[in-house]
Amino acid sequence: MNRIAVCILSVAVAASGLCRPVLAQESVVLDEGRIVTLYVLDAMTSHLSFNDGKPGAIVQGHLTYNRDSQLSFGTYAEDSFTVGIQGGEDGAIVDIGDDAALKARYGYSETVGNVQGFASIHLESGQAVIVKNYQTKQFQPLKEFSELARERPDRNKAQVGIGHMYLIHIWNRRASSYYVKLKVLAYVPGQYVTIRWSRL
């Protein structure tokens, strides 16, 4: 392929959006969640709001301030997620493993791409469940959900692992609370992590 053809192909692909990177300015809304990239070295995009999917920090008067942050990557602990980080809020996070671990633990059958486990996690009667039988649309309790309520050291921190999934609980002093699931899609230690996340 000559240089002209390569240039034309590159322009066409770029115009189509296929090569456009997912940046952390705002979560990209997709079916069953949002995708966002957090950058550890950037104060603006190392924090995320679970309320609107936008960066948790803003710049005003040439200074950086918290806007609305529930998740941080690499700020409080190296190559780790930290949750419940802003005043008046608290949080807990638990690593539930990758697709292979979940499939082995819960015994469900998978489809191409190993996508059913994460997609199936949702709340029923205030408890998290995961798929039991894909064909019959049956679900079963997600045992790790109870870990969010257990007092444990550094319960608001979890090491980032490629392909790993996490459950998060955020609550505040007004007794308001909600749950989030997220999955690590791409990860370079000390640089960035790309996640798919969704409030339950």
pLDDT band at 2 (very low <50, low <70, confident <90, very high): low
Class of residue 181 by CB neighbours under 10 A (exposed 0-12, middle 13-18, buried 19+): buried
Give a yes or no: residue 6 inside a domain. Answer: no
pLDDT tens column, 153-177: 899 999 999 999 999 999 997 778 9
Cα atoms found within 13 Å of the Cα of residue 63, Cβ hemisphere only: 3
Q: How far apart are CA 39 and CA 195, in angstroms?
A: 11
pLDDT (0 to 100) of residue 175: 74
Q: Which domain holds residue 43?
A: 26-199
More confident call, 134 vs 19: 134
Give a yes or no: residue 161 inside a domain. Answer: yes
Q: What is the model's pTM?
A: 0.83
Residue 105 pLDDT > 50: yes
Give a yes or no: residue 46 inside a domain. Answer: yes
The 3-state secondary structure of 76-118, one letter per residue: CCCCEEEECCCCCEEEEEEEEECHHHHHHHHCCCCCCCCCHHH
Domain total of the chain: 1
pLDDT (0 to 100) of residue 22: 43
pLDDT (0 to 100) of residue 110: 85
Residue 16 pLDDT > 70: no
Give a yes or no: residue 185 inside a domain. Answer: yes
pLDDT (0 to 100) of residue 169: 97
pLDDT band at 78 (very low <50, low <70, confident <90, very high): very high
Give a yes or no: residue 12 inside a domain. Answer: no
More confident call, 6 vs 196: 196
pLDDT tens column, 121-151: 999 999 999 999 988 999 999 999 999 999 9
Give a yes or no: residue 14 inside a domain. Answer: no
pLDDT band at 27 (very low <50, low <70, confident <90, very high): confident
Question: Biggest alpha carbon distance in the chain?
Answer: 64
- Cβ-proximal residues to 122 (8 Å cutoff; 6+ apart), any chain: 128, 129, 139, 200
Give a yes or no: residue 8 inside a domain. Answer: no
Residue 30 pLDDT > 90: no
Give a yes or no: residue 5 inside a domain. Answer: no
Do residues 14 and 27 touch, judged by C-beta distance below 8 A?
Answer: no
